[in-house]
Amino acid sequence: MEIKLFSEINHASLKELTAQVKLAGNRQLLLKINSPGGSVADGLAMANLIASHRPGSSCEIVGLCASMATVIALSTGRVRMCANAIFMIHNPWTETTGDAREHRKTADALDKFAAPILAAYTKKTGRPEAEIQKLMDDETWMNATEAKKLGFIDEIGASSPVASAVAIPEAPALVLSSVEYGRLTPEKRREFLRLGGQFSLTKC
């Protein structure tokens, strides 16, 4: 059964994905992803939900698969990526206020959240932790060929030309292609999503 993650990862999208998996029953899942990532906690819950489903589930990355969305993709048995899709990994991050003690506590918490992400990447790729950690430290953006070479995905699908963004009459300027979205800074991504922005899908 085909299920989709076409949004930011948060509690609402976790509930939506949970409902889709429940509806699938005992059928194998084909998870299609076009997501910029989001909450680490909700993303881990999604990954665990997919991994605990019956064996044989697979993933198809049809646009942007960034941050926590990559961990969810790797929770399936096999990952296919459109030739013109984008894959990005980095360290978890957040914002905090307070004195030095508060910032240190936040840094320690971020390290704990990073550990299962690093473990998922090393397990999938078979590469040394130090090599994967360097890719995360650098915030690494990959095309399908690069992602396959590093072992993050299993196969590359055929691609059609990237579809032009479909303008929304009320806010045409808030529709970006997946590539354009990927070029935004983290601050601009948050503002873009807060304003209801959308990114167009790249289809196989």
Active-site annotation, residues:
67, 90
Please give the Cα distance from 192 to 174 (Å, whole number). Answer: 7
HSE-up (13 A, CA, CB side) for residue 64: 25
Residue reference for tokens 């926590």: 68
| Residue carrying the six token digits 């590469």 | 127
- Tell me which residue of 136, 135, 142 sits closest to 156, measured CA to CA: 142
Q: Tell me, what DSSP letter sits at residue 138? A: T
The token pair that represents 24 in the structure block: 């699938």
Q: What values do phi and psi take at 152, rounded to 5?
A: -75, -30
* Residue 157, H or E segment: strand 155-157
CA-wise closest residue to 70 among 18, 2, 21, 125: 125
Q: How far apart are CA 107 and CA 134, in angstroms?
A: 18
